[in-house]
Structure 1
Amino acid sequence: MSEALPPGYPHLAEADVVLRDGTVARLRPIRPSDAEGIHRFHAGQSEESIYLRFFAPIRRLSERDVERFTNVDYVDRMALVALIRDEIIGIGRYDRIAPTSAEVAFNISDHYQGKGIGSVLLEHLAAIAQEHDITRFEAEVLPQNRKMLSVFSDAGYEVSRRFEDGVVMLHFDIEPTAQSLSVRFAREHRAEAESVSALLHPRSIAVVGVSRRERAIGHQVMRHVLDGGFTGEVYPVNPEADRLLGVPAYPSITDLPEAVDLAVVAVPASAVPGVVEECAAKGVRGLLVISSGFAEEGEEGTALQQRVLRVARDNGMRVIGPNSFGILNNDEGVRLNASLSPTTPPAGHLGLYSQSGALAVANLDSAARRNLGVSVFLSAGNRVDVSGNDVMQYWVDDDSTHAVGLYLESMGNPRKFSRIARALAMTKPVIVVKSPMEEVPGHRVRSTTVRPHAFRAIMAQAGVIHVENVHQMFDAAQLLLHQPLPEGNRVAIVSNSHQLGTISAGSAAAWGLEVTHGPVSVRTEATPSEFRAAVDAAFADEQVDSVVVSFIPPIGAVEHDVVEAVRYAAKRSSKPCVGNLLGMRGVDTGSLVAEDPGASSGDVPREAVPLYAMPEDAIRALGLATQYGRWRTKDKGEPVVRDGVRRTAARELVDSVLAEYPEGRALTDDESHDLLAAYGIDLWRRVEVASADEAVAAAEEVGHPVVLKSLSPLVRGHSLLDAVRVDLTEPEHVRAAFEAMDARLAPLDANYFVVQRMAPQGTSCVLGTVEDPLFGPVISFSLAGAPTELLDDIAYRIPPLTDVDVREIVDDIKLAPLLHGHKGATPVDRAALEDVLGRLSLMSEDFVEIASVVLDPVMAHGKGASVLGAQIHLAPPLRRKDPGRRAMT
């Protein structure tokens, strides 16, 4: 089919999108072969819709009009169609009417209005138009066409209107603004949350592949659905049975008495595409594919998996799996256990997401053993469609979920993950177990070029709590769910063992916690009342934000009394408490002790106290909660904005280079200077020299004092080779330096020299950005030199940045004290350094064609930050995983 596509057809403009009601539509550029589809679409429209679009009662489009509509050049004239089940449900187009402006128009099917199709078409057309240097849209709309007027007015753009000849004339710039981005993200959130909600709150379920064999997967899932007390209708599907597990069975999906909300598929992999096609024909809304044998098995399975995805999305369905362990919803109105787990944790407020089937079992088992209540559980399996990002969108609004835990083996869209996780973490803790950044069979993910700790920095930027394993995830969850967040890092430690207290204090220091009370050690044989008094004193101390209780039960002691004493004190305080009772782990939900007669009526008892088997576990959980509490209350800052940015000049330079070198290349010094200057970054001029005479002349040109240095990568940063001479104030000094360095470096073929004006003495920094295949643009900051490279002391952030992000990336490196006047040195001008970082982040966000930028060195000193060197490489643009328009990955 691709051979029949017209010249210039933009494949990157194709996208699957989630509509307002949670269904899926396909967006793609229009094709000449859509002519018949356009006729059918137009014939199905009401007279009113036709008049509102064409300002005339045109019952049938002429062949000439259809040919003009379907034949576009995809640059000056662009049209997108939205499809479900291969039928056109919406059309959006623009036509360039001036070098930087275009007229835009939409036509949405009467049967699909109100689903946000016009809004998503506008987003995509605006993003495509910007790629072709169109910066402004115009539209003509009849005043009675309120729906279309709202598409423009609600998009977040600054829209100007005027009424002329009975028509509303609209004009607006299409460059994204804070408001338009906010609108786009909010719409994306509502749509994706609704699509996941439909999967987790079905009113009816079909289980396809139910066998009479008890050990068969379909049989197990069906039994678990029934035993769990699912509140909706359940339909087993088996062509060879009339009844299964006491429920009437049906030969196929098409024989069901209704179109079910969710089909659970547990048939051999080869049969799954046929089942999905039947589901599509029946109007099933979503799929949970338990079956294995797909991408985890190799190329043939990958092709089968993609076929399932394409059929599902072309018919408006979302897919969990394949190779999923199942889903669980403990909501009393649903009571759904469509999983392979016969036992489920109690109902509670922890949301769980897992990619690994094996660890899905461990997750549910661990939660149940810890008495940790779960709201929703979802196993993504191969994650062909529904991902952790989608489920986090759902959790943002789910009142039953107060904290979430995710086990991620791979990540398909880290930029979107960071954005959604940040929004979720503002109100609910997000705990992530992430295996090393590597490709996992069955999971669609691009490779990454950034160092492993960049991922940890990016999660910290989003407020995510990163842990090493499932054990640590539940340790953190049981504290975050059942205790208030710490207001600071001051802790009290109470124990009946001096050794336990010492261990706890050492662990607290390692986690950045300050022990301001204790460690207090009561005697080993202390009575519960003595222990209670010590705990009460810790809670009452105004210099304490959190309390750690460690207890070794002596022979014959009753641990219940100790737990009761801790609970008695904790329920009367707003301070969090963790308990370390050796050998015990989980959430204590025992009955509360009798109310203290002296307590006020406003006291709210705590539901539970988190218990840990070892003090290190308790302190780690408390340390993570304290870090999260600090992130949640801190100022997140405002988006980076810089004056003097000339994007058009930068675009012209980038386009001219790639037009001549489509495969990309490194920029020359002059080109680098011009590109950086367009973003307000002053790259100091340097003059290449090949002789002593040229060096002397260059020094006179740029002005003394100067620096003479080699550009060879063999010697840059090499402390044992003489590759730079500084503070050359006289011509003879320049000549002598050149001759000496030339003699020394010529045998190494490293005698490539430049002369540059001498910068003020300061701290040499390296600022960079890379367009990573997985993360998109990644900003980095470090100090120059071998120690930084050897210790990997580099800080990272993902744009778009806030002013707080820019400040923190500088503070994140271990060598940051060198910038602040270490041992009497002059502190550097932080504002100037942060200004360059902010401008670099804006440039990297704006241009996907900028493969990498290294500003090295940037000399930070007391009166500014001088950019002395730059290496910039352009490359053909990759499609970012989180593009400037809503799209499913």
Structure 2
Amino acid sequence: MKKVENLKYLFSPSAIAVIGASAREGSLGRATFANILFNGFKGVVYPVNLRAKSILGVKAYPSVSNIPDPIDLAVIIVPAGEVPIVMEECGRKGVKGVVVISAGFKEIGEKGRQLEERVKAITDKYGMAMIGPNCFGIINTHPDVRMNATFGRINPEMGNIAFISQSGAVGGAALEYCEAEGIGLSKFISIGNKADISENELLLYLRDDPQSRVILLYLEDLKDPKTFLQIAREITDRYQKPILAVKSGRTKEGARAASSHTGALAGSDEAYNAFFNQCGIIRLDNLNELFDCAKAFSMQPVPRNKKIAIVSNAGGIAIMATDAAIRNGLQMASFSEKTKERLKRILPPTANVQNPVDVIGDADAQRYREALKIVLEEEEVSGVIATWTPTLMEETTKIAQVIAEIAPETQKPIIGCILSLEQHREVSAIMEKAQVPNYRFPEVAAKILSILCEYGEWLNRPRTEVKIFSDVMPERVKEIIGKAHAQKETWLLEPHAYSLLQAYKIPVAPFFLVKSFSEAESASEEIGYPVVLKIVSPQIIHKFDVGGVILNINDREELKSSYEKLLKNVREKNPEAEIVGVLVQKMIKGGKEVIIGMKRDPQFGSLLMFGMGGTYVEVLRDVSFRVAPIRELSAQTMIREIKGYPILKGFRGEMPSDIEKLEETLERLSQLVSDFDEFEEIDINPFLVFEKGKGALAIDARIRLRY
């Protein structure tokens, strides 16, 4: 916690030492020192350079130790090999925080990694908070500070958006974008290699920063996901500060590049999606979307639900906006008769008084004003997309003024979409002065409003906890895993997998492991026909490939011939396989096939999966993911967010499936994989779910252990 407390010295220092400051044109030392010196910093800045007497007219010192006054922040821009020496000097001087811009650490390989560990040890020794190494720098636009400790050319305007970037280049590009779009920032932090201060400490700092209303992240990996989840969830929920993120490395190739770039292990893209969902973080695809959304979140209130309205002066644009709204999960609000009557009184007979409202092409600013006000007063409406297409009537800037005047009168979000390339900057300036974001196209406006609504749903969701079941048998699981480890089994034998699932009360189709036909006969009679036979062998994972499964055996005669055929198939196709026995399992008919599973992610640990099951699951990929442990609400949403959910709910007169049993099974599997970290992969497919109230059964299960 001391390091988090020391962040105030990084962002609000009274005195800064720039170690490696230079007068040489084009050098990072000159650019960084000049940015602090000439961009309004309210404190004192000291250049440190071994040889120079002065830099840019300011007296220079050969070492930070020679500076007569206390130093809060040191910005270090020296060759990597010299950084430990400089850090020691800073520690002895009593410097509270350092920003290490210097590169040449873990991003270059093992030698750099060892150097970075030395630097980290020095920060811990003296209790200094360090950002970097290998970073672009930091900015605080607060008028009492006005510090730009970067080597970039942009000095951003003050705003209420904080931006944390793992990449210096992405951060620099983002600053350029902010300048071009007139977006102000509260804080800018390039975190580089995150050797000491990571996104977690910075989120804690920004959580309590009154200037930062919205937090943006560009990430390539996470340093400590569990801590991140706790902090981010608190910020997005209790503090109601939205966090928007771009996480690169979505593809395998991109993930490899990210790992090379950061020297860290990358998690899977599915895991990041699931993880951000559980944190309440909104994940976006690119920087353009990130800042488009940030603008809306920084200006407008969050809607209470997804029921929206559209007001336009052009039917075609209104239709495009409506299509985009529906595609993005929004709902078109239904107007009351009172609202429709009010609209009829102010609009021409040819105008549409349903939603979307078309005030038609000859509308002037007054007609648009009245229509927009009426729509905003409709109780069913939670947000409005206000679109306008320029006409020869030259009302475009007046429309922008109308929207700007109405916005402060409502607590509902208004998203502007004035389709004028020529006047875009002018109308945007008018509207954004009144805190209304303006976008060039209706598709963008609709997507932005849908994301605002998504966050509103997060804030208004029912609060649930992680359910803990007391009827489970962890000792039985330990026993099964222990025996498998002793036998060096990577994949559990199928009967052992079933027994393990049963220990956590995950329902399994009745089964017996037998070693002779007579045992198979007795088992079949006890279970009841029809039955299934499956080969059990540590060398055979995919049983169908070797003819190791025979279905729908109805009597003793079929059982005898099937038993012999099964053994013959396996001996012919895999003569080296060790046959442990044969699994006799009840043949279950009916129900709907789903898949429930888990895979281990290198960053997040146990990642739960749910989806429609069967043979084509890998092709259709209709699945959802969450990081374990999951709350009750996560189990519910995992099931409801897959495309196949209507089939489970009951399609075309079919009875609904036992969705509550699916939820319970997901929660039980979550508890199992949270209690034990020995699992690499669990695949229950198919898991048959029956009609509501009739439960579900695992029909096949594969469990792979980790060593």
Tell whether the structures are fold-level matches, with TM greater than 0.5. yes
Relative distance call for 1:543 and 1:320 in structure 2 (3 A) is: same
State how far apart, in whole Å, the 2-side matches of 1:619 and 1:419 are.
31
SS at match of 1:621: helix
- From 238, 246, 254, the counterpart of 1:433: 246
Please say if 1:864 is aligned against 2:689. no
Q: Displacement, 1:415?
A: 3.6
Relative distance call for 1:585 and 1:837 in structure 2 (3 A) is: farther
- Greater CA deviation, 740-749 or 786-795? 740-749
Q: Displacement, 1:851?
A: 2.5
Q: Is the 8 A contact 1:760 1:861 kept in 2?
A: no
Q: Is the 8 A contact 1:412 1:444 kept in 2?
A: no
SS at match of 1:778: strand
SS at match of 1:612: coil
SS at match of 2:443: helix
Please say if 1:855 is aligned against 2:688. no
Q: Which amino acid aligns with 2:704?
A: H
Q: Is the 8 A contact 2:657 2:690 kept in 1?
A: yes
Please say if 1:515 is aligned against 2:351. no
Q: Give the corresponding residue for 2:412.
A: 575
Q: Is the 8 A contact 1:689 1:754 kept in 2?
A: yes
State how far apart, in whole Å, the 1-side matches of 2:479 and 2:558 are.
42
Q: Displacement, 1:586?
A: 10
Please say if 1:541 is aligned against 2:372. no
The aligned runs of 1:462-481 (5 Å cut-off) are 462-481=279-298
Q: Displacement, 1:329?
A: 1.0
Q: Displacement, 1:675?
A: 3.7
State how far apart, in whole Å, the 1-side matches of 2:304 and 2:509 are.
47
Q: Is the 8 A contact 1:425 1:463 kept in 2?
A: yes
- Greater CA deviation, 483-492 or 857-866? 857-866
Q: Is the 8 A contact 1:492 1:548 kept in 2?
A: yes
Q: Is the 8 A contact 1:355 1:407 kept in 2?
A: yes
Q: Displacement, 1:377?
A: 0.9
Please say if 1:490 is aligned against 2:307. yes
- Greater CA deviation, 770-779 or 383-392? 383-392
Please say if 1:624 is aligned against 2:440. no
Q: Is the 8 A contact 1:370 1:586 kept in 2?
A: no
> What are the superposed Cα offsets for residues 61-115 of structure 1, whole Å, 9 maximum, x if unpaired?
xxxxxxxxxxxxxxxxxxxxxxxxxxxxxxxxxxxxxxxxxxxxxxxxxxxxxxx
Q: Displacement, 1:804?
A: 0.8
Q: Displacement, 1:443?
A: 1.2
State how far apart, in whole Å, the 2-side matches of 1:406 and 1:562 are.
34
Relative distance call for 1:872 and 1:587 in structure 2 (3 A) is: farther
- From 23, 41, 47, the counterpart of 1:212: 23
State how far apart, in whole Å, the 2-side matches of 1:571 and 1:791 are.
47
State how far apart, in whole Å, the 2-side matches of 1:778 and 1:701 are.
37
Q: Give the corresponding residue for 1:638.
A: 465
State how far apart, in whole Å, the 2-side matches of 1:497 and 1:748 are.
69
Q: How many residues align?
A: 667
State how far apart, in whole Å, the 2-side matches of 1:319 and 1:655 are.
44
The aligned runs of 1:297-446 (5 Å cut-off) are 297-426=108-237, 427-437=240-250, 438-439=255-256, 440=258, 441-446=260-265
SS at match of 2:262: coil
Please say if 1:667 is aligned against 2:508. no
Q: Displacement, 1:610?
A: 0.3
Relative distance call for 1:305 and 1:468 in structure 2 (3 A) is: same
Q: Is the 8 A contact 1:375 1:401 kept in 2?
A: yes
Q: Which amino acid aligns with 1:225?
A: I
Relative distance call for 1:200 and 1:763 in structure 2 (3 A) is: same
Q: Is the 8 A contact 2:628 2:674 kept in 1?
A: yes
Q: Give the corresponding residue for 1:91.
A: none
> What are the superposed Cα offsets for residues 372-416 of structure 1, whole Å, 9 maximum, x if unpaired?
221111011233332222222222222211111111123333343
Q: Is the 8 A contact 2:163 2:185 kept in 1?
A: yes
State how far apart, in whole Å, the 2-side matches of 1:773 and 1:453 are.
12
Relative distance call for 1:722 and 1:506 in structure 2 (3 A) is: farther
State how far apart, in whole Å, the 1-side matches of 2:613 and 2:550 are.
15
Q: Displacement, 1:747?
A: 5.3
Q: Give the corresponding residue for 2:96.
A: 285
SS at match of 2:33: helix
- Greater CA deviation, 231-240 or 505-514? 231-240
State how far apart, in whole Å, the 1-side matches of 2:561 and 2:649 are.
36
Relative distance call for 1:407 and 1:693 in structure 2 (3 A) is: same
Q: Is the 8 A contact 2:387 2:416 kept in 1?
A: yes
Q: Give the corresponding residue for 1:754.
A: 583
Please say if 1:698 is aligned against 2:535. no
Q: Which amino acid aligns with 2:669?
A: L
State how far apart, in whole Å, the 2-side matches of 1:304 and 1:646 are.
48
Q: Is the 8 A contact 1:351 1:401 kept in 2?
A: yes
> What are the superposed Cα offsets for residues 94-139 of structure 1, whole Å, 9 maximum, x if unpaired?
xxxxxxxxxxxxxxxxxxxxxxxxxxxxxxxxxxxxxxxxxxxxxx
Q: Displacement, 1:288?
A: 0.5
Q: Which amino acid aligns with 1:509?
A: I
State how far apart, in whole Å, the 1-side matches of 2:645 and 2:563 are.
34
Q: Which amino acid aligns with 1:311?
A: I
Relative distance call for 1:738 and 1:651 in structure 2 (3 A) is: closer
Q: Displacement, 1:461?
A: 2.5
State how far apart, in whole Å, the 2-side matches of 1:831 and 1:855 are.
18
State how far apart, in whole Å, the 1-side matches of 2:142 and 2:641 are.
42
Relative distance call for 1:710 and 1:567 in structure 2 (3 A) is: farther
State how far apart, in whole Å, the 2-side matches of 1:553 and 1:431 are.
33
The aligned runs of 1:785-796 (5 Å cut-off) are 785-796=614-625
- From 2, 7, 21, the counterpart of 2:2: 21
Q: Give the corresponding residue for 1:254.
A: 65
- From 47, 50, 53, the counterpart of 1:236: 47
TM-score scaled to structure 1, two decimals?
0.70
Q: Displacement, 1:550?
A: 1.8
Q: Is the 8 A contact 1:487 1:629 kept in 2?
A: yes
> What are the superposed Cα offsets for residues 634-677 of structure 1, whole Å, 9 maximum, x if unpaired?
1131222212134455445545654x36x763334564455434
Q: Give the corresponding residue for 2:322.
A: 505
Gaps of 5+ in 1: 1-19, 23-191, 593-605, 877-889
Relative distance call for 1:484 and 1:586 in structure 2 (3 A) is: farther
Relative distance call for 1:327 and 1:465 in structure 2 (3 A) is: same
> What are the superposed Cα offsets for residues 841-862 of structure 1, whole Å, 9 maximum, x if unpaired?
1121122222232233322223
Q: Displacement, 1:681?
A: 3.2
- Greater CA deviation, 570-579 or 434-443? 434-443
> What are the superposed Cα offsets for residues 286-324 of structure 1, whole Å, 9 maximum, x if unpaired?
220112233334444333333322332343223212221
Q: Is the 8 A contact 2:614 2:685 kept in 1?
A: no
Q: Give the corresponding residue for 2:38.
A: 227
Please say if 1:611 is aligned against 2:442. no
State how far apart, in whole Å, the 1-side matches of 2:137 and 2:17 are.
14
Percent identity, please: 33
Q: Which amino acid aligns with 1:520?
A: V
Q: Displacement, 1:436?
A: 2.2
State how far apart, in whole Å, the 2-side matches of 1:591 and 1:609 are.
5
Q: Displacement, 1:683?
A: 4.3
Q: Give the corresponding residue for 1:270.
A: 81
SS at match of 1:267: coil
State how far apart, in whole Å, the 1-side matches of 2:46 and 2:170 are.
29
> What are the superposed Cα offsets for residues 715-759 of structure 1, whole Å, 9 maximum, x if unpaired?
54x8x9894423x44323433544566677775449985211244
Relative distance call for 1:318 and 1:652 in structure 2 (3 A) is: farther
Q: Give the corresponding residue for 1:187.
A: none
State how far apart, in whole Å, the 2-side matches of 1:762 and 1:532 are.
56
Q: Give the corresponding residue for 1:554.
A: 391
State how far apart, in whole Å, the 2-side matches of 1:632 and 1:801 are.
18
Relative distance call for 1:442 and 1:215 in structure 2 (3 A) is: same
State how far apart, in whole Å, the 2-side matches of 1:797 and 1:627 are.
18
Q: Is the 8 A contact 1:539 1:569 kept in 2?
A: no
Q: Displacement, 1:239?
A: 1.8
Q: Give the corresponding residue for 2:339.
A: none
> What are the superposed Cα offsets for residues 611-640 of structure 1, whole Å, 9 maximum, x if unpaired?
011111111111111111111111131222
